Structure 1
């Protein structure tokens, strides 16, 4: 069976990783420690920027394709986007209010945790809906070249500083086959200095044995050609 190009798999793995890490960190955080709290707020802001960028890119480059082939599903996804945006904006306001305060009470932090958990649960259901409902409809309506073109537009529209944050969460969340394929594609599509820089990024994000496995697969694939 031929594997079709999937618009969502890699980036959704990164987003899930980022949000799972955020929930885990928030749950164990000593909210009375100013430095620990501020470090969490900075991470929250970076992830929020990623989420806003992802939503904007989907609205610009993927939503029109869904609207074209399945308007009802497109409307449902748009409703989900609006709900997620509202929940996220409320979290952002709560974070900035806590960041400007001299201290945070147990009640305030607990309320934030509950709202964060609500947002992440809702957002994960939205990601699943895109993968399980929207993607099969896109496969029926478009060939892989058209879907890849949309994916490239999304990637090229992401500012470099946000792209770096995406990669920091996405690369460790991929399996070894996806990591090796990502590097193999880059090896043939970007200048050598950028490819070496990407390899260094992989090495910094993965455990030594994980990185060795990726490179071994990359070399084996090149030798077989």
Structure 2
């Protein structure tokens, strides 16, 4: 049975969306009406999400890590301080972008792009530390039951809407077998609501990903058509 990994899938989703955000900001036609506001809002939404994610980890994971592997926990605390400074810089530049004079917009856009990529650079290092230091320490010093309890406590803290959004963010970034296993568990947990649940979960998948999911789940053709 696979080990319980508290970081892997959610981190894959974060990486995918950070890379997409960077690409879209770099290529955006900032001269178009509302484009500056849209790009700024995208950056601000991402820093809000990453701060919220850090709070969740601190609440549900890192307390156990501090008890069992305090040196690893100290390293993560230092990372969070560095990340918060990068988030603050990005937020400040994002908020100023929509009010930038037209002739200064290209340089302001690029400055925001650089600030975003500074966040990405720092955040990737942080994810690597969690995945290669913190998670192995938890595997070594905590039982499967304790790790399962951490995951269950986090899920219980989320509203149905928040839980659905968590899955929509993550599912496009994970491999097909992992995606099918996650969705199968969710669908089987809500008897009589399988079609609507599947449709909600598939809303962020590309058509090829959705078709592969239907295939892996053995979804009847008429059911798949109703959720497309």
Instruction: Report the TM-score, using the length of structure 1 for normalisation.
Output: 0.86
Q: Which residue of 2 aligns with 1:223?
A: none
For the pair 1:141 / 2:161, whether they are aligned, the reply is: no
* Distance of aligned partners of 1:211 and 1:17 in 2 relative to their CA distance in 1, 3 Å threshold: same
Would the alpha carbon gap of residues 17 and 5 (structure 1) be closer, same or farther in structure 2, given more than 3 Å must change? same
Which fold has the larger relative contact order, with Cα–Cα distance below 8 Å and residues 6 or more apart in sequence? Answer: 1
What are the residue-to-residue correspondences of 1:41-60 with 2, within 5 Å?
A: 41-60=40-59
- Give SS of 2:195's match: helix
After superposition, the C-alpha distances for 1:175-199 in whole angstroms (9 at most, x for unaligned) are 1111111112112334543x43331
* Cα shift readout 1:10-61 (whole Å, capped 9, x = no counterpart): 1101111111111111111122223222222232233222212101101111
Instruction: Kindly tell me the number of residue pairs found equivalent between the two proteins.
Output: 218
Gaps of 5+ in 2: 220-228
Aligned position for 1:66: 65
Superposition pairs of residues 76-155 of structure 1, within 5 angstroms: 76-101=75-100, 103=102, 104-155=104-155
TM-score, normalising length from structure 2?
0.85
Contact 2:40 2:94 in 1 (8 A): yes
1:53–1:158 Cα contact (<8 Å) kept: no
Report the RMSD for the aligned CA atoms in angstroms: 2.2
The match for 2:226 is none
Shift of 1:127: 0.4
